[in-house]
Amino acid sequence: MVEKLTRESKQRDLDEHIHMLEVSAVDTTATVADLTSASIRIKNMIDANQQQIQMARDMHARGVAGVDVSEGRDEAWKEKTIRSLGNREAFDQEFGNVFIETGESAVDEALFEQLRADCCEPTLIYDEGKYLLWDEPKSDRLNDGVQALD
């Protein structure tokens, strides 16, 4: 009788372990699907960002960033406008989509310095650089939530 109870206990433990493995496999599959989807969205954002960067470079390469040169705004107009505004930085801010901070900032400089100091390279890189991790996953913090960029 004791042997039967021991066998039944071991069978229940084994069944519970198998169930937990099945649940874990489903969770892992769902996580991989979510990460794959996020990776595709990130790749699309990177591509869109590269297109925007190229468009900005193309605008700057035309000589007068962000200004339609067909309106008679050529290099002579540009130089005259720079002189009237007082400097190149003011011209870039007005016509070149360059933002120069003057006066008080909405964000404290100490916070910027802290963010710069905390910035680091990812510790783990997967999928040819498309999936980056800055810290190892921690098993005791699985339910803390997930942060993602969309």
Average pLDDT of the chain is: 77
Domain that includes residue 85, residue range = 69-98
Residue 107 domain flag: no
Residue 34 domain flag: no
Residue 91 domain flag: yes
pLDDT, tens only, 67-96 = 555 567 788 888 888 899 888 888 887 877
Residue 78 domain flag: yes
Q: Total domain count for the chain?
A: 1
Residue 35 domain flag: no
Rounded Cα distance between 45 and 58, Å, is: 20
Weakest mean pLDDT among 48-57, 98-107, 112-121, 124-133:
98-107
The answer on pLDDT for 150 being more than 50 is: no
Residue 76 domain flag: yes
